[in-house]
Amino acid sequence: MTMPPPLRNDCFALPPGVDWTPVDEALALLKERLSRRVEAETVPLAHAAGRVLAQSVSAIRAHPPWRNSAVDGYSFAGGLDTTDPRTMPLVSGRAAAGVPFIGNVPEGYAVQILTGAMVPSGVDTVVLQEDVSRGEGEIVVRGPLKRGANTRAAGEDVTEGQKIIEAGTRIGPAQIALLATCGVAAVSVFRPLRAAVLSTGDEVREPGVALETGQIADANRPMLSALLAQWGYSLVDLGIAADTEISVRDALDRAAAEADVVLTSGGASSGDEDHMARALNATGSMALWRVAVKPGRPLALGVWDGCPVFGLPGNPVAAFVCTLIFARPALAQMAGARWTEPLSFLVPAAFAKNKKAGRREYLRARMRHGSAEVFASEGSGRVTSLTWSEGLVELPDHGTQIAPGTPVKFIPYSSFGLGT
């Protein structure tokens, strides 16, 4: 599968006259404008977990491949209509898993069979070992028992040639189980998306170094790196760029050379020291998306030498939320996966709030005693709100009055592909 054409420079342009872009419109634009950035390769099943399927897969063989027994017992032909005891002579030999009974079981006879063994020719029904009285060379069985009972029919789960997994699916343990079952030993997957991460700001320092007056530790780059790792992307660490044009340009050059996409944080507004915005402006590709969302500052989107740039807010809480809401589906699509909306649940609120109209809000939230509670401080400066919370409550764009018990939309962090 070939690489798609490079992104157009104007791929993030907004329609003229747009002031505030609603979240859903921003997402629809990203979905429409961004496309796959990775090529396909074939990997053995053992290396397929976490990868995105490049081509739909069909079963090489049926599952089960042949009728087999679901229990340990005795197999005979036809069911039993009544509770009357019936005596059946046993053939010698037995059917065991992987060691089939050779030959035909004559009419009226039964054969001992073990779980997973192929049902021999001439019989089709299995009675549980516990439900028979065994005599010398014979068994006594009582019905009723349906014909085919305690067996698994050939192909009852999957037929040969049936499509089992769609292209664009991320392969997890469940998919691995099905692929292996159906005889698929290698799959065509996309190579992992290479995502670069860059922090910007003269005040931003590596965590762990002593801070001078006015400096802060870099929270965003470690956080974004961890998110990318959870999503299965390969990381290109661009470090911290100073607030100079040359520093930002150097970092973006490296991103364009080594990565398929770059996530930056800070420097994306239009202040004096917002060199990211300036650098992207110079390419003509810069679009400052003022998304009607809280928490969030404008998203600076652009294309640097063919490489899409996601300029996230500098504030770590806003950067975290904007990455989950906007970058996650966009990155998935660039990685060849389908665009997905996070799974959410309507749950009663444990809080009260008078939400004004005009922008969507994401509150740091968690479920306790069946209701969603939210972090006491809504300000986005509180990084502890991220560890306190286990998901987000999404409040709609329009105004709404929330009282304890009002249904609200809760999105657990696991819906964004995050583990703990």
Smallest distance from the beta carbon of 331 to ligand AMP, in angstroms? 19
Q: Which is nearer to Mg ion, 131 or 203 (CB)?
A: 203
Binding mask 150-189 for Mg ion (x = CB under 5 A): ----------------------------------------
Under a CB-based contact definition with an 8 Å cutoff, are residues 336 and 190 in contact?
yes
Rank residues 9 and 225 by Cβ distance to ligand AMP and give the closer one: 225
> Among residues 236, 233, 193, 217, which one has the least CA distance to residue 40?
193
Which of Mg ion, ligand AMP, none interacts with 232 (beta carbon under 5 to 8 A by kind)?
A: none
Q: Which does 316 bind (CB under 5 to 8 A by kind): ligand AMP, Mg ion, none?
A: ligand AMP
Separation CA 118–CA 65 (nearest Å) = 9
- Least Cα distance to 200 among 260, 279, 140, 124 occurs for 279
Which residue in the shown chain puts its C-beta closest to Mg ion? Answer: 201
Interface pattern 300-329 for ligand AMP (x via CB under 6 A) = --------------xxx-------------
In this chain, which stretch among 79-87, 132-140, 261-269, 390-398 interacts with ligand AMP, using CB under 6 A?
A: 261-269
197 binds, among ligand AMP, Mg ion, none (CB under 5 to 8 A by kind): none
Q: Cα(346)–Cα(420) distance, rounded to whole angstroms?
A: 22
Answer for the pair 97, 114: CB distance below 8 angstroms, yes or no.
yes
Which CB sits closer to ligand AMP, 168 or 314? 314
Q: How far apart are alpha carbons 52 and 338 in whole angstroms?
A: 9
Shorter beta-carbon distance to ligand AMP: residue 151 or 220: 220
- What is the nearest approach in angstroms of Mg ion to the Cβ of residue 280? 15
Please report how the helices 245-258 and 275-283 are oriented relative to each other, as an axis angle in degrees rounded to 10: 60
Is residue 313 close enough to count as binding Mg ion by CB under 5 A?
no
All residues at 6 or more sequence positions from 394 whose CB lies less than 8 Å from its CB, including other chains: 344, 360, 361, 362, 408, 409, 411
Separation between Cα atoms, residue 376 and residue 373, nearest integer Å: 9
In the list 201, 313, 316, 342, the residue contacting Mg ion (rule: CB under 5 A) is 201
Question: Of residues 50-89, which lie at the interface with Mg ion (CB under 5 A)?
Answer: none
Helix/strand/coil for 146: coil
Number of residues that bind ligand AMP (CB under 6 A): 17
Q: CB 15 → ligand AMP: shortest distance, Å?
A: 25
Q: How far does Cα 380 stand from its chain's mean position?
A: 27
The alpha carbon torsion through 309, 314, 315, 317 (nearest 10 deg) reads: 20
Q: Restricting to residues 183-212, which ones interact with ligand AMP according to CB under 6 A? A: 199, 201, 203-204
- Coil/strand/helix, residue 67: coil
Whose Cβ is closer to ligand AMP: residue 117's or residue 262's?
262
391 contact, one of Mg ion, ligand AMP, none, CB 5-8 Å limit per kind? none
Number of residue whose CB is nearest ligand AMP: 314
Strand-pairing partners, residue 235, are: 195
Give the type of residue at 236. Answer: V
- The site that binds Mg ion (CB under 5 A) totals a number of residues, namely 3
Near Mg ion in 233-272, by CB under 5 A: 266-267
Q: How many CB atoms lie within 10 A of CB 365?
A: 28
In 103-130, which positions are buried (b, 16+ CB within 10 angstroms) versus exposed (e)?
eebeeebbbbbbebbbbbebbbbbbeee
Q: How far is the CB of 295 from ligand AMP (least distance, A)?
A: 11
- The binder of ligand AMP chosen from 220, 264, 333, 415 (CB under 6 A): 220
Cβ atoms < 10 Å from Cβ of 222: 16
Residue 204: contacted member of ligand AMP, Mg ion, none (CB under 5 to 8 Å, by partner type) = ligand AMP
Note the residues at the interface with ligand AMP (CB under 6 A).
Answer: 199, 201, 203-204, 216, 218-221, 265-269, 314-316
| Contact residues: Mg ion, CB under 5 A | 201, 266-267
